[in-house]
Structure 1
Amino acid sequence: MNLSAFTKSFGGQMAVAAPDLTLQTGTLYAVIGANGSGKSTFSRVIAGVLSSDSRRPVTEPGLRVGYLPQKSYGYRLSVLQNLLLVNRDRERAARLLEAVQLSHLAGKPAHRLSGGETARMALARLFMGRYDLIILDEPTASMDMESTMLTEHLTRQYVAETGCTLLLVTHSLQQARRLADHALYFRKGQLLEQGPAKTVLYEPQCPETEQFLSFYGS
């Protein structure tokens, strides 16, 4: 799938300038960079949450895009009903709730869940749908290690099952190394390096990427 080049500015200050990109089907891309590098703005424009400066569409017409924001939320319904809003398939909902270890809370009002529980429910709700492209923005930021591992496993499973393309915005280099097929490195709103994860995350060609990796993770 193809993504068109775009820029996004706030108050006259350029936040991100992204080039044309071609993403491979069934591939998981890690979007990495320091805080303020533009990676979340990049993801939000692609998701359609923000418009680009030109206001032209970034994705191809008819592309089904699913998006999970940094701050998860639950509608004022039960956990199960939150999932069924997306898809009435109760068997799938039950499987996903089991996968994120929330089966015992299926009848609980979603707005009364803890932060980590809400994040897991929101992921399960997203995965009730079928998409060509999914964007996850820091999906495990509020999770403990056990929940993080569950989320990573479910994410990989979903990509394998559906053949979708997935953009994972993450501050964790360890997570990127565990999950990603390809990686995109942003610095000051610019995409400085992209390529196979084993290259970008272990043997980067760009000095700025190498500096970032040495500072934020071994």
Structure 2
Amino acid sequence: MEEQKKNKMEGRISSWHRKLTRYQNYQSDWMEQMRGTLMLVSTVIATMSFQVAINPPGGVWQSDSNTRMGCVPNTTCKAGTSVIAFGSSDQKLNYEIFITLCTISFSASLTIILLLICGFPLSNRLVMWMLMIYMCISVYCTVGAYAISIGMVLNKLDLVPLFIRYYAVYWAGLFVLLCLILFLRFLFYLFIKFLELCLKCVSK
């Protein structure tokens, strides 16, 4: 009787383990198939970040300028430098944050491209998690850079603060949702390991 219960329990655990492992393997295969898409998306984001950094909102000074030409007092604005970088203190701060976000997004995208072209298997969990983290960093830095650029270019419009507020709420909510999904996937992984441990204990 005890042997039958043990075999029945082992069969149920084994069945659940097979189903969950099959799903897990499907996820790994799906990630391998998405390699080209990840490369394309990373390349597009890297290109956008690079272009925005060298062609900032507001443009660049076409020639060395002084106060009479619109430059801030006691400053010579060099040709090829950003116009907003020589604006008010608020504009300078926004521009510095903007460039920082673009740089982080650009670097994260290049890291993804490098990981992909080096041929690391996406079935490897460490590589997969690294790609997910870097992709999230790249996307969210691009989101932040877009919001700041809108604020810099359209700061005189009353609608802009409201737009940025709802824009931030949307992406913050999406971030929380993604974190929840990743946490559930981590629990899923732990559950599979728990089933494997149970199988070992029952089979003894």
TM-score bracket relative to the smaller structure: under 0.3
Flag the structure with higher strand content. 1
Structure 2 length normalisation: TM-score? 0.25
Flag the structure with higher helix content. 2
Structure 1 length normalisation: TM-score? 0.24
**Larger-Rg structure:** 2
